[in-house]
Structures are given as structure tokens and as C-alpha cells.
Structure 1
Amino acid sequence: MQLFSILSVILIFAPVALLLSFTPYLTRETISFGVTVSEYNYHTPILRKLRRTFATASVIGNGMVILVCLSLLQSANEESTAMITGVCTMLFIVYWAALHMLFHFKMKKIGGTLTTAEAPQRVKIDTTFRQNKLTYSNYWFLIHIAIIVAVAIISILNYDALPNVIPMKYDLQGNVTSSVPKTYLSVLAVNLVQLGVIALLMLVNWSIKTSKQQLTMTNPAQFAAKNIQFRRKWSLFTIITGLLLTILFALIQMNMFVPNLVLLTAISFIVPVVIVLGAVLLALTGRQGGGEIRNHQVDSERSKEQPVNDDDHWKLGFIYFNANDPSFTVEKRYGIGWTINFASPLSWVLLLFIIAIVVISIVLSQ
């Protein structure tokens, strides 16, 4: 009975835990646990040992949480399954946050003892960078919108065929656990959520294109080419993710008219797993920004020059707050992808928008 819950832990929690455990190996070679370092110092024995220690502690801690969760789920009933997964998720997040902060502050202490070249800090910029095609066009999302509109029209045309009470949620036995009265709003609410999600993904795709350029001290031209590839593959992933979510929501809506619980349950499980595994595999194919995970340069070829240090603008090593920076999005320091500048008023509008989508989705599933 708990097969889907157990598989979700194995196919979603475990890959994410693995990715988080090895995140320090995926960051730029000028960042160590949210602290700016030179490329040379990143590969010194003391920082290599710090990364190994973090990965070991993370794998062991997250592994224990996952094993406990799997053990409890084997004998859980329908009511306790959600509580167990919720508690395990919280433990997972709390442990990661605590471990990250512990190693971040360790790194700050170590950072003061590292030697750097006596040279002014420089920023390398490729003035032709923006002339390249950095992402796939947002016009691709017209396919997603067309599907949403088509499903909405079908729903309106078949409105009278629906029962007066519409089932919204089922248990694993196929019994209805949540339903809402039939209204045009309740029938089309899924489409509104879809449009909100697509708007958010279009913003993400735009952010990938417009986020500021960051080049390495060594081989900046080569890194610029890899950075373009990095942006384009994550742009494509964003578009594909939007399409998969659009199809999932469309099936949920069509289930009101032609119930098929087996198909809906299977797709509802498969789509999140595919998205998560795709993100994990994509993240493991290259370092943040487009660098190589395995760098075969010898130490003498790595730059000892200290990159521009803006650590003061990164709270706890991963929250960016810089009122003097007009950029809305910047590359993450910890993890793969992009984050927002929390000093920008637009970032708070975006957060409220995301919260609104989540709240509406939760209300609809009740």
C-alpha cells in the first residue's frame, strides 16, 4: 500500500540527498562553502579534506533519515504516511541547513589563514557575451499555454456533464477524500494554477538569460563558451519541466470528466521523479557556471589571484543581499542554478507570487 511513498523516498529523497552531499564539489572553484577563495587555494589539502568531511557527514546523516523514513513507511497507514514523510522532510532540511552553516563558519575561519597573491582584485568581462544565444526563447512556452487553453475550452464545453460535486483528491484505495462543489471557478482553477506556474518558469528562463556574467581568472574565453552551454541546457530543462507539469495538470483536470485513477496516480508519481532525476543528473554533468567537475590542471597552472570578494553581500554563504547591485538574479554560491537578489523589491513580489501559487494549489487539493 505504501509502494508509491517508498519509491518516492528512494527516487526523489535519495538523489537529492546525494546531490546536496556533493554540492561543494559542484560549486565554482573560486567558492568554498560560500566563501571566496582563489582557484589555487580551492585545491589545497585543507579544503579538499573539508569537502570530504562534509560529504561523509552529509551522506551518513541523510542516509540515516532516509532509512528511518523507509522503515516507518513500511508499517504506516494512510493517515500516518503524510505525517511521516512531512517529519522526515523537515529533518532532512534542518540537518542540511545546520551542516551547511557549520562548515560555512569553519571555512570563514580557515579563509583568513590562506595565502593569496598580492595583486589588485580584477573582474574579467566578455563584451560580446550578450550577443550569443544564451537561452531558448520563451516563445516555446506558447506550446504549454496552448495546451492549457485547449483543456480549459474542453472543460467549459463539457461543464454540464460534470457531477454537482467534483472529486479533487483520492486515497490509495481509490476513495474520494476531498471534493468541491461544481462551479466554473473550481473547474478552471487548475488552469489558473497552470498559468501561474508557466509564468514563473518563463521568469526563470528570462533570469537565466539576464543574470550577470562571471568569468574565471584562467581561460576566460573558454569558460565563457562553457557558461553559454550551461545556461542553454538549464533553459531547455526549464522548458521541458514546464511541459511535463502542464501535461500532469491537464490529466488531473481531465480526470474530472473521464476518471482513470490508475493512470492519474502513475503519472502523478512519474512526472516529479523524472523532473528531480533530470535535475540531479544535469547538475552532476558540470560545475556551477559551466566549469568541469574534474579539473586536470596542475597546481602551478591555477590562479593564485584572489577573485573579487563580495562575501559581505552573501548572508550565511547563500542568501544574496546587495542594494547596490541592479541585478535581479545571480548565480548561486551553494548549489547549481540561480538565486535572487533579496535587496531587490521585485524579488519579494516574486516570493509572494510563489507563495500564492502554493497556497492556491493546497486549497484546491483539500
Structure 2
Amino acid sequence: MIAMNLATVTLITIVMAALPALSRPTLPFGVRLPAERASDPVIIAERRVYARLVVAAGVVAAALSFEVLAVVALVPVDLLLFYRAHRRVARAKQDGRWQAGHRQRVTVDTSFRTDPVRIPWRWALPALAVLLSTAALGWSRYGGLPATLPAFRGYGVDPARRVATTAPSAFEPVFLQAAITVLTLALMLVILRARPDLDAARPRGSARRYRTYLRGIAVLSLLAAACLNLGLLISALQLWGVVEPSGGWRVATYLPLAALVVGALAWERRVGSAGHRLPALPGEEREDSGVVQRDDDRHWFLAGMVYVNRRDPALLVHARIGHTWTLNLGHPVAWVIVALLVGLILLALTGVVDLPMRESAF
């Protein structure tokens, strides 16, 4: 348990320390800045202080790793440190009047509507191939399965616990693979048609980079579905008795995810959020429209994690941190979605709806 807690603390500390690097230079800690302020001494100092505080929190949590509460508390502590840096940068921006003297605009590229980035369907083939292979293998093994099966835990099985052999229990890995594949494709359809996040200072270059970025997100997401499906296939082999559950197979289950993380980090290093790290093409090096991106900090809350703008017709917008999108909570449809999710949770808590229960998916 202590070793697992230490590994968790290490992972959380690495991710949180790297969080500022996942944002664009003009959005440090979720604060919108003009490009010339991206390397301001205040920003550099806050990055250093934040990194040191996150590491210090990780060291304390590691020293107390025998207490699960210390590990659980690490994430909210790191988020509070991020919010602290956000407030300090926002205060420096306000006190220094960094936006004064700039013409603020937004840019729109209608080609994202007339010629949107499309799903790269060939990259969906690995996930579909793994799904179909697992279903075919399960179908061939189903008639010869014993009366009970080891408890399926998503990524791995628990041989000490047995459940009755039924079609739902035997084919649970296949159902999860199908859900992952369908949800990934549906999510890509929504994201690829969400409003692009372009830079008014460099409209042409940012639009090209954003297209490249979206294609990369789509490919990476489909490969993520394939890696998740492959891990579930390895779990299914143990569930159906093709191989005996062991520590080696447990490690093998996570190898596709490890490869995915390495690939995602390499992609992030080359592309960056919204494609800001991509090199400029000839003719884009000196692109300058003479304006800066409109300051919309007043619509972002919780250090750039929550967006609320009633005048914005977009339902889904690119978040200010990492490679994520978030709902515009000023949009009526967003509140319908939130209400449905809250309603489902309340029904589950009151026992009206029985949701699948599992101690750990991993």
C-alpha cells in the first residue's frame, strides 16, 4: 500500500508541476496576456515558486504516504497552489495595466464550418480491430467457460472472487470496448466542430496550426481508444482462462497505456496546446494583425477551468489548461446537460437507479 501511495504521489506531483507548461505562453495560469508579456519577470517568478511549492507538497505527502488521507489531500493542495499563482499573475496584470494601449479583437475563420476537420477514420481501425477480435474470441470461448468466473475489475481480474458465468459477466470486456470506441468517436465529432480557439494577433498562422492540432487530437484520441481496448483484451484473456492471472500479465495490461502516455508527451512537446509550438510556415514569421486577443478573463473562473458567458453562442470551448474542452455554463443547453448528470447521480444515491459498481477500474 505504501509503495502504491508513493507511486501515486510521484505521478500527481509530476503532472501538477508540468501543468503550466501545457498552456499557451499567453495563458499562464489561466490568465490572458499580450504576447510581449509572456516572458515577464513576474510570470517567470511565479512559475518557479509554483514548481517549488508543488514539489514541497509532494515531498510532504510522500513522507506521510502511510496515510491515505495525505495522498488524497495532495490534489486539492496542488490545485490551491495553482489558483494562488493565478491570482498573483492576474493581480500583476491588473496593477501593471498590461492590456492598456492594445486594440483588442477576436478572429473568426468560417472555413472551420464550411470545411471542418474530419475524423481520420483509418486511425479508428486499430480500436475496431481489437474490439472485433475480442468479441470473436469471447464468442468462441463462451460455451466452454466454467460455472463461475474471476471477478472482472476493468484492468485485470480478481481470482479470489468468483461470479456466476452469464453473458453480461463474460462479455463485460467487450461491452466496455464498444462503449469506449463509440464514445471516443462521438466525442471527436463534437470537438472537431466546436468553435476554434484562434489568435487575433496571428489569425492565418493560428488557424493553420489549430487545424493541425485538431487532427493530432483526433488521431491521439483514436489511438487512446485502441490502447484501452488492447488492455481490456489482455484482461479478457485472464477472465476467460486463456492465460492464468499473474503479475506479469498485470504489467502487460498497462503497457499499452504506458506507450500511449509516452506518445502523448512526445506529441505535446512537438505541437503544444492549440498548436502553439508548431513552426511558422514561410510568410507567417512576421504575421501581425496589429491587435491582441480580446481580454475575456471575466468569463473564466477557478483559474481558467470554468467558462460562463451568456453572450457566447458556443456550447463547447477550448479550455485554458492543457488539451481539454469545457462547457460554456452560460449556454442553456449546458445547464440541461449538468441537470441530467446531477439527476442521474441523485437517482443513484437514492437507489432508484442501480449503477455498475466496481472497487477499481484499474
TM-score (normalised: structure 1): 0.77
Mapped partners of 1:199, 1:104: distance in 2: 37
Mapped partners of 1:131, 1:284: distance in 2: 30
Of 209, 231, 245 in structure 2, the residue corresponding to residue 261 of structure 1 is 245
Of 282, 297, 318 in structure 1, the residue corresponding to residue 305 of structure 2 is 318
Contact 1:26 1:293 in 2 (8 A): no
Q: For structure 2, list consecutive stretches of 5 or more residues without a partner in the other structure.
A: 281-285, 349-354
Of 100, 110, 131 in structure 1, the residue corresponding to residue 82 of structure 2 is 100
Asked if 1:348 is matched to 2:338, the reply is yes
| Percent identity between the two aligned chains | 20
In structure 2, the residue matched to 1:78 is none
In structure 2, the residue matched to 1:215 is 198
Contact 2:273 2:323 in 1 (8 A): yes
- Pair 1:35–1:129, CA change in 2 (3 A): same
Higher RCO, 1 or 2 (CA under 8 Å, sep at least 6)? 1
Deviations 1:84-114 (A, max 9, x none): 6x64652331222111122222233222113
Asked if 1:40 is matched to 2:36, the reply is yes
RMSD (Å), alpha carbons: 3.8
In structure 2, the residue matched to 1:277 is 262
Deviations 1:319-366 (A, max 9, x none): 12334434332212122332333451465389679989xx63726969
TM-score (normalised: structure 2): 0.78
Q: SS in structure 2 opposite 1:210?
A: coil
Letter in 1 for 2:324: G
Aligned residues: 339
Mapped partners of 1:151, 1:17: distance in 2: 36
Of 21, 24, 31 in structure 1, the residue corresponding to residue 20 of structure 2 is 24
Mapped partners of 2:258, 2:70: distance in 1: 18
State the shift of 1:191 in Å.
1.8
In structure 2, the residue matched to 1:167 is 150
Contact 1:205 1:235 in 2 (8 A): yes
Mapped partners of 2:52, 2:150: distance in 1: 46
Contact 2:124 2:222 in 1 (8 A): yes
State the shift of 1:193 in Å.
1.9
Letter in 2 for 1:314: W
Of 43, 56, 59 in structure 2, the residue corresponding to residue 60 of structure 1 is 56
Comparing 258-267 and 123-132, the one that deviates more: 123-132
Deviations 1:24-60 (A, max 9, x none): 2332233232222222223222222222221222233
Deviations 1:116-163 (A, max 9, x none): 243542112233345566354356435423532442343234323111
